[in-house]
Structure 1
Amino acid sequence: MSNLPKWKLLVVENSNTPKDWKLANCIYLSLAEQQQFSISKLIPTESYSRKIIGYLYAISKGADTIYDLDETIKLLTDLDDLVKTEKFEYGLQYDGKGVFNQFNHFGQSTIWPRGYPINKTSENGTNSYLVSALKTPSVLQIVSNGDPDIDPVFRRTLKPTKTSLNISFDKAAPPVVIPPGVFAAINSQTTLFQYEALWAMVLPITPSYLHSDVIRGYWTQRLLWEIGEFVGFYPPNVYQIRNNRSYALPEDSRASYFDPNKLIDFLIDWKCPVALTFFQCVDLLSGNLAQGGYWQQGDHQLVQAWIHEIKISSYKEPIRKPFTDKNINKHLHSAVYIPAEKTDIRNSKIRQQSKWNQVLGMTSFCKNTSYQIKSSGLASVTSPDLLLVIVFNFPFYGNIPYLQLIYGVTFTHIVYCGSNMKRFLNASRQFPNKVTFVESVVDGGYCPYTCLSAAMKMNFDVQGYFFVADDTLLNSENILTFPLDKIWFHFEDRFLFKGKSSPWHWWQKPIGQSAMNKAWRYLYNLSADPDLKPVVDKFVHTLLANNVSKDDAISGPSDIVYIPSKYKNDAIFLLDVFARFKLFLEIAIPMVVNGVEERNSSIHLVGQYLWYDGKREKVPELFKSSDIFLHPVKLSNIKTNLKIFFCKTYFPLTLKKINPN
């Protein structure tokens, strides 16, 4: 930590700190040096809340971001991705009510964080989310692998000894923000505060150290609503190793039996008069908590002293925006998000259960085919670090369980996409397993690339996005060695020129040449914006390098494409421009592919398109194990004339070393 670029490590001494403790390249704030702040007189020297003086020291030195963490934390990466320079991004916003369990969101449904209401532990909340254009959260909590900050009583049921747990969360899971009206238990062990929320770092002194930061978290969240800010949760970039103190279960009844339910109910009902400034609301709520017995009068006095100290340190008071509506972010898409379960918490072994369930699903479907399955077959399967996006031109969502059989072994993260969320929810009631789905307007198959944009906006932490039509049969075994930093596409070029006719009939339709001309004019107008001009110029330059002239276009079959994450922002921008004018899929995708990467760097996907010449009825005969894809393969036939093909030929290819008899 002390060697991170752009950061300064600050360690705060209390009476329990070893007297010989020291570290190079670190600011060490001794008890004597802490006396420069008058607030130090209010905080006992042995208190965990001595951290307050460290926060204050950092603010007084001009810090605009403070990462609040515990001595049990080991960083796995640097912190550059956590501090966002841009003020807006895309991501998931929770669309439920009540209390949010961030551990469930990142793939651990059987545990809950310290400070989470115990009576809510049997509820995993809703799986409903909104894909939104988000302000960067002012408070970010990062979940930690290893031995994270779970409920201490529950911890004792798992580990009666002091041996550390080894829990892992899904590092690819998308970050999530919780809107006003929803609470989550957040701590001081791995939480980042942006400038807009530095006022919130004061830790109460009268509660037990096990709950001081949790109470602060609930108090903070309610006050964030008054300035239009919110809390976000990010996937793991730290590993937590417990020390002996972390396993202690104090006999102090305050520590053992804190119940946040009453506090949460109070905070939901609490109102701040419109006429008050923000810091006046902070003072009012702090006094109300003391009156209600949620903390003591000494904590109210501490907050007052804290506000005074940060004011004289030139910290700028946030502008009040009285809380009225929880939907503070622009809603783009509705989504159902299902986390990928990561570990078996009671023995800390990575589950192969999901892959085994896939095999069981195959054998159940193929009851007339027997298989010899070796354990090495399961172990040999690797999941590429990408998001598979399967798009439906029409809402035939009853086929999703078959798609899960086909691709679930190879891909850990799959997003299904199409129009009509209601149709998906109705169909999903019959699914053996829940799946992730995002709703998007696909215009009957003319603009299904809106699904690719929507999936990218969900903000999974993957190396790329693999877009596949629901009727494209992907031979996934053949892509496992492909470079994830290159575009993959089936290049079958058709050059189209402005003002000229083409034998390709789609060029004469409103979704063809007319839409392309409108998109070009729109891009020219956007290039007047200095922030967007580099993006447009890069697009035009790359097209020219691929022999596509300005104002012209290129088209080709576009039912399968992979785009690396390094092009994500450009791809979202271009896809959204083309969707604005409903440009046809087979123009929009090739324009993006040829406009973000030079052709000689891309990977050509070898496969077969079966056009209207009778070949569509000969899938088993035409399928080649060396091909990447076959299109179209209608899954409506999987239970009838294609069943033998899937059972005898295709399914064995999805797992190495599994052979049909």
Structure 2
Amino acid sequence: MQGHKKYIVSTTINAPTEAIRRFDAMKDWTLIVVGDRKTPTDYRLDNGRYLSPSDQEKLAPELSELIGWNCIQRRNLGFVLALDEGADIIATVDDDNIPYENWGSELLVGTTATMKSFIVDGDCFDPVGATEHRHLWHRGFPLQLLRTRDYSNFEDRQVHVDIQADFWDGDPDIDAVCRMEHAPDVTFDTGSFPFTSDTVSPFNSQNTFLTSEALRRYFMVPFAGRMDDIWAAYHLLHLGYKVAYAQASVRQDRNVQDLTGNLVNEFVGYENNAKMVQAINSGSYDISAYWPQRALRAYEAYMRRVDA
């Protein structure tokens, strides 16, 4: 990836964490941290860019107002800045995901590569179940489809990788139901990766790389609870972009969570995700049937801004 402009975008309401300090020290990457009204006013980075609330209002005033405050979807403003500055590859990360030494090296995103492709007889593919931890599932995978998961059919295929979703050791990205039941602390076998699928699948915003072209249509959905990045993923795959899943490159030491609160905020997904992936596969998907109207207005403002 020499010669490419590479950016990392995160959001925080905390002082710089260990993960942020490590991302900030990375050569060949430019870090953007998007603040919120709860972020310490003295927030400082050694090398990267801190985007304060006032900076965001100047950068994209319409989008800033439509998204609102005190939400992780402020990260969309960081995407705007990265695209403004000509980023080719953009990593979206969380501030509690501590990168390994090999993070961001030997990237597949933006390339064409041969990898295992799972052939799914169904509406959705669960990437977590494709590993050795088959008792777990990815946040946003429809619960109604858990019993239908089948990983027996696959072949090597060439895929142009628009999105590279790296995994996460430690506390993986599973939903509240799965976490309440299993409370896992895992290490993923690197031999399971990379892989892809021929159908739609969930990926998150906590350790994921996108090309600039894909990022122009990737939008963390406000007013959608904990489905903000999942619905962004499903929408992007609906548009024809391709995701590959790669080995864990961070260890997640999750910020303090209220699992009951998470469950409540995931309920909109339990209600809608199965219908959404079925519609995508049948060709009847309509974004306006699932995204809140306020979110649609914000997405339209985002596209106007990044395409200007």
Q: Assess if the C-alpha contact under 8 Å between 1:94 and 1:129 holds in 2.
A: yes
Q: Which residue of 2 aligns with 1:309?
A: 305
Q: Assess if the C-alpha contact under 8 Å between 1:73 and 1:190 holds in 2.
A: yes
Higher CA-based Rg: 1
CA RMSD of aligned residues (A): 1.9
Q: Which residue of 2 aligns with 1:20?
A: 42
Q: Which residue of 2 aligns with 1:111?
A: 136
Runs of 4+ in 1 over 4 A off after TM superposition: 251-254
Equivalent residues, number: 280
- Residue number among 144, 148, 158 corresponding to 1:123 in the alignment: 148
TM-score of the aligned structures, taking structure 2 as reference length: 0.85
Q: Which residue of 2 aligns with 1:435?
A: none
Q: 1:134 to 1:157 in 2, by over 3 A?
A: closer
- Measured against aligned partners, the alpha-carbon deviations of 1:537-596 in whole angstroms (never above 9, x if no partner) come to xxxxxxxxxxxxxxxxxxxxxxxxxxxxxxxxxxxxxxxxxxxxxxxxxxxxxxxxxxxx
**1:35 matched to 2:52:** no
Q: Assess if the C-alpha contact under 8 Å between 2:109 and 2:163 holds in 1.
A: no
Residues 55-74 of structure 1 correspond to what in structure 2 (within 5 A)? 55-74=79-98
SS at match of 2:147: coil
SS at match of 1:32: helix
Residues 525-544 of structure 1 correspond to what in structure 2 (within 5 A)? none
Partners of 2:151 and 2:103 lie apart in 1 by 32
SS at match of 1:24: coil
Residues 396-545 of structure 1 correspond to what in structure 2 (within 5 A)? none
- Measured against aligned partners, the alpha-carbon deviations of 1:270-298 in whole angstroms (never above 9, x if no partner) come to 35xxxxxxxxxxxxx7xx332x2x12111
Q: Which residue of 1 aligns with 2:293?
A: 297
- Measured against aligned partners, the alpha-carbon deviations of 1:486-537 in whole angstroms (never above 9, x if no partner) come to xxxxxxxxxxxxxxxxxxxxxxxxxxxxxxxxxxxxxxxxxxxxxxxxxxxx
Partners of 1:151 and 1:193 lie apart in 2 by 23
- Residue number among 192, 212, 217 corresponding to 1:173 in the alignment: 192
Partners of 1:138 and 1:216 lie apart in 2 by 14
Return the letter of the residue paired with 2:278.
D
- Measured against aligned partners, the alpha-carbon deviations of 1:296-325 in whole angstroms (never above 9, x if no partner) come to 11111112111110111xxxxxxxxxxxxx
Once the two structures are TM-superposed, the CA of residue 262 in structure 1 deviates from its matched residue by: 1.1
- Measured against aligned partners, the alpha-carbon deviations of 1:363-387 in whole angstroms (never above 9, x if no partner) come to xxxxxxxxxxxxxxxxxxxxxxxxx
Once the two structures are TM-superposed, the CA of residue 252 in structure 1 deviates from its matched residue by: 7.9
Return the letter of the residue paired with 2:283.
W
Partners of 1:158 and 1:249 lie apart in 2 by 15
Q: Which residue of 2 aligns with 1:267?
A: 280
- Measured against aligned partners, the alpha-carbon deviations of 1:450-495 in whole angstroms (never above 9, x if no partner) come to xxxxxxxxxxxxxxxxxxxxxxxxxxxxxxxxxxxxxxxxxxxxxx
- Residue number among 222, 231, 249 corresponding to 2:238 in the alignment: 222
**1:188 matched to 2:168:** no
Once the two structures are TM-superposed, the CA of residue 253 in structure 1 deviates from its matched residue by: 4.3
Partners of 1:175 and 1:214 lie apart in 2 by 20
- Measured against aligned partners, the alpha-carbon deviations of 1:416-473 in whole angstroms (never above 9, x if no partner) come to xxxxxxxxxxxxxxxxxxxxxxxxxxxxxxxxxxxxxxxxxxxxxxxxxxxxxxxxxx
Return the letter of the residue paired with 1:24.
D
SS at match of 1:234: strand
Gaps of 5+ in 2: 1-22
Partners of 1:100 and 1:109 lie apart in 2 by 13
Once the two structures are TM-superposed, the CA of residue 257 in structure 1 deviates from its matched residue by: 5.0
Equivalent pairs: percent with the same residue? 22
Partners of 1:241 and 1:254 lie apart in 2 by 21
Partners of 2:185 and 2:259 lie apart in 1 by 18
SS at match of 2:224: coil
Return the letter of the residue paired with 2:90.
I
Partners of 1:148 and 1:60 lie apart in 2 by 32
Return the letter of the residue paired with 1:199.
R
SS at match of 1:62: coil
- Residue number among 114, 127, 151 corresponding to 1:90 in the alignment: 114
Residues 135-284 of structure 1 correspond to what in structure 2 (within 5 A)? 135=160, 137-159=161-183, 165-179=184-198, 182-208=199-225, 210-224=226-240, 229-245=241-257, 247-250=258-261, 253-256=264-267, 258-259=269-270, 260-270=273-283
Q: 1:100 to 1:31 in 2, by over 3 A?
A: same
Q: Assess if the C-alpha contact under 8 Å between 2:169 and 2:186 holds in 1.
A: yes
Partners of 1:215 and 1:8 lie apart in 2 by 27
SS at match of 2:261: coil
**1:7 matched to 2:26:** no
Partners of 2:276 and 2:107 lie apart in 1 by 30
Q: 1:172 to 1:41 in 2, by over 3 A?
A: same
Return the letter of the residue paired with 1:295.
W
Gaps of 5+ in 1: 160-164, 272-284, 313-661
Partners of 1:62 and 1:28 lie apart in 2 by 18
Once the two structures are TM-superposed, the CA of residue 258 in structure 1 deviates from its matched residue by: 2.4
Partners of 1:33 and 1:220 lie apart in 2 by 28
Partners of 1:257 and 1:307 lie apart in 2 by 25
Partners of 2:129 and 2:262 lie apart in 1 by 29
Which structure is richer in relative contact order (CA contacts within 8 A, separation 6 or more)? 2
Partners of 1:129 and 1:243 lie apart in 2 by 36
Partners of 2:203 and 2:253 lie apart in 1 by 18
Once the two structures are TM-superposed, the CA of residue 109 in structure 1 deviates from its matched residue by: 0.4
Partners of 1:90 and 1:252 lie apart in 2 by 37
Q: 1:42 to 1:84 in 2, by over 3 A?
A: closer
